[in-house]
Amino acid sequence: MKHISIHWFRKGLRLHDNPALLAAMTDCHTLYPIFILDPWFPKNMRVSVNRWRFLVESLRDLDESLQKLNSRLFVVRGCPTEVFPVLFKEWKVTRLTFEIDTEPYSRQRDCEVVRLAAEHGIQVIQKVSNTLYDTDRVIAENNGKVPLTYVRLQTLLAALGPPKRPVPAPTLENLKDCCTPCKDNHDAEYGIPTLEELGQDPEQAGPRLYPGGESEALCRLDLHMNRTAWVCNFQKPQTEPNSLNPSTTVLSPYIKFGCLSVRTFWWRLAEIYQGRKHSNPPVSLHGQLLWREFFYTAGAGIPNFNKMEGNPVCVQVDWDNNPEHLRAWSEGRTGYPFIDAIMTQLRTEGWIHHLARHAVACFLTRGDLWISWEQGQKVFEELLLDADWSLNAGNWQWLSASAFFHQFFRIYSPVAFGKKTDKGGEYIKKYLPFLRKFPAEYIYEPWKAPRSVQEQAGCVIGRDYPKPVVVHEVVSKRNVERMKAAYARRSASATAQLEGGGGKKGAKRKTPAGPSVAELLTKKPKT
């Protein structure tokens, strides 16, 4: 029997290493590649215009690649559980394929879609290709528990062997007996959305430094893989958070959207490492992919992973509620130029170096402002091109010393850390140009400059640029004591539970109200 297949693109916006797509093409006479603009996402998470643009570009590139195979991408608007029954009947579908996604909403959604497919007598094929390994299998290998240290994860993966090799991209040969029916009004009914349709103003987008799409991803991968010595010597802690040009690959947005397969990246690195001296995990490029695997595994197995309450691995901390300080941090107005330059780069460009993320995350939470990591997580969720549910939650817990990392007394200085790699403050001058005339000795601490120097620089502190919102030397010491108290409470609670005491259950999640873009996604574009 020849199948009528739907392949459902979600994160894996690519043709290369897409086993679920190849499964859809096997014994198939009609193929419908679809992407669903699901209103759940804008209802439940913040998405910047920069990330919407990246998605639109990725979909456009995917459609162009499919056209080279005499196929097309069908972009469908609406809730998947409402959309699929209609498509199943209209297209007389017999098979549905998609890549496994381990996020909580995705699992719930996919379970319901599989149930609907069964009701219609449709075969469902799900494949692992968003991660290097099957996260459920990794947890099973650890006796059903999530590995809570990087070393433990490495031990488990060593027992499982290397990741599967990527599968080839489909060719015209794969589709020689298969067609994709397209009507004359295809673009009107199933076309790529515009930013305007998504409720976004293109004029508000930042510079297009990282164009979306598989084609761009593979070009960038080739560019970096040609730097053999750089790849072999790569050590993440040795890269610069404030270099004027990125000191890392910036492939993370492409991996987040699945424009680049993580397995393809892994095996390209393995080929380069073969027979050469090279750095090793956790600091190597392989190590960075394993960090991704670590947090994906944690996110797949830990309840309420993106929350403090109800999260069994997260220290319960009495964070302050200070909307004014939160806004100052998110808008780059803390009075600390290094922190503000990073947040300005994030807001305008959609990407910042991982060590820069360390600096601003520590500043917001345990270092200076004592504001919950959940608030920072929301800001990163909105502004980062590579915002990824598991990695975002995991890194914020790590950097706030709420989980995984517990040396809370180690605090990033908002002054000294940036000076290590950029004494002259060139990075600050780029993103905060109103400070560019300050002498190097004052550019990280402009409030210490004499009034005459400030006036000569054309920027008076307290008038043209804010004074520091807190005194780092004072609050950081106080916050160490507050963190020490939070850890003591956790220890006491654990002791009580061992002696027969019970813990409180986590609070139920609240669903935030969504912007109008969610409603727009339920409507078809005008013809």
Q: Is 249 labeled as ligand-binding?
A: yes
Rounded CA separation 164/68 (Å): 27
Q: Are 197 and 520 in contact (CB under 8 A)?
A: yes
Q: Is 410 labeled as ligand-binding?
A: no
Q: Is 388 labeled as ligand-binding?
A: yes
Structure tokens at 495: 């002791």
Q: Are 117 and 81 in contact (CB under 8 A)?
A: no
Q: Is 175 labeled as ligand-binding?
A: no
Q: Is 451 labeled as ligand-binding?
A: no
Sign of the C-alpha dihedral computed for residues 185, 187, 191 and 195 taken in this order: negative
Q: Is 295 labeled as ligand-binding?
A: yes
Contacts of 483 (CB under 8 A, 6+ apart): 317, 366, 401, 408, 409
Q: Is 405 labeled as ligand-binding?
A: no
Question: Crossing angle of helices 262-273/285-301, nearest 10°?
Answer: 150
Question: Strands 74-77 and 95-99, how do they pair?
Answer: unpaired
Q: Is 250 labeled as ligand-binding?
A: yes
Structure tokens at 166: 């990527």
Q: Is 292 labeled as ligand-binding?
A: yes
Q: Is 123 labeled as ligand-binding?
A: no
CB environment 209-248: b (16+ within 10 A), e (fewer): ebbbbbbbbbebbeebbeeeeebbebebeebbbbeeeebb
Q: Is 294 labeled as ligand-binding?
A: yes
Rounded CA separation 437/431 (Å): 13
Q: What share of the chain is helix, strand, coil (3-state, %, to 5)?
A: 50, 5, 45
Sign of the C-alpha dihedral computed for residues 417, 418, 420 and 421 taken in this order: positive
In degrees to the nearest 10, what's the CA dihedral of 111, 116, 119, 122? -90
Q: Is 97 labeled as ligand-binding?
A: no
Q: Are 315 and 402 in contact (CB under 8 A)?
A: yes
Rounded CA separation 442/453 (Å): 9
Residue ranges of the annotated binding site for FAD are 248-252, 288-295, 386-388
Residue ranges of the annotated binding site are 248-252, 288-295, 386-388
